[in-house]
Structure 1
């Protein structure tokens, strides 16, 4: 099937098999390998991307379901000049990554949550919900929570 996607601000027209997963199209066809595949069952969240501003698990979404959608991957977080997104800077400052495998998924769910609610830092339960949506085996989650809270005041919506 022919589909059209906007990925990180660039339009793409692709021929995809109807049962092909979004994660595979992003990684294999578009070379966006920051979308990590962990569990491939929608549990870990390493493959999280933003689809029309909402976080989705790319391992559960068929590429054909995204036809006409705007997608944002971790590669699309940095500014046009390569300047790291406030979340990326906060994750580094708070040591919210160790092995880094889960980091792209956490960055994307956090970006979506902060864009939807710039006052997220004032809602500890909401931050905990964002952090609890994905799995990390290294950090113990506290640094991730601190990073999201730290980035919230400087993240004012879509860039």
Structure 2
């Protein structure tokens, strides 16, 4: 798997891969144990069938091959595990960065909305004040006109 493929994997998928690697490692250990058991069985047969020197040469080669295979697999598992840990850490850092950016964007949206709401309220307040002043002016003019009309009517009745 390439780095790009691993970065696209979710945390659960990465954990599944780690679990599979761990299982392979344990299977290899079990296989190694089985091979060791087979070697012990062969050693007993060789010891009973032939010379000790001959058996040592045969057992040594088998043990070396088994140990080399186990060492190679163990190194592979350790490397894969280290790589997975590194990629998991990187994914965690990216996740935290994304969350932080989202929080900042959300805060900015809220601030912008609050500023717009404050501006709308201020404009509405100014319009209400202006309309109230207009109403007051018209009401005063109407009251004044009414008073003048009453005065004219009273003067007219008084003249008649």
TM-score range normalised by the length of the shorter chain? under 0.3
Higher helix share: 2
Greater CA radius of gyration, 1 or 2? Answer: 2
Superposition TM-score, scaled by structure 1 size = 0.20
Higher strand share: 1
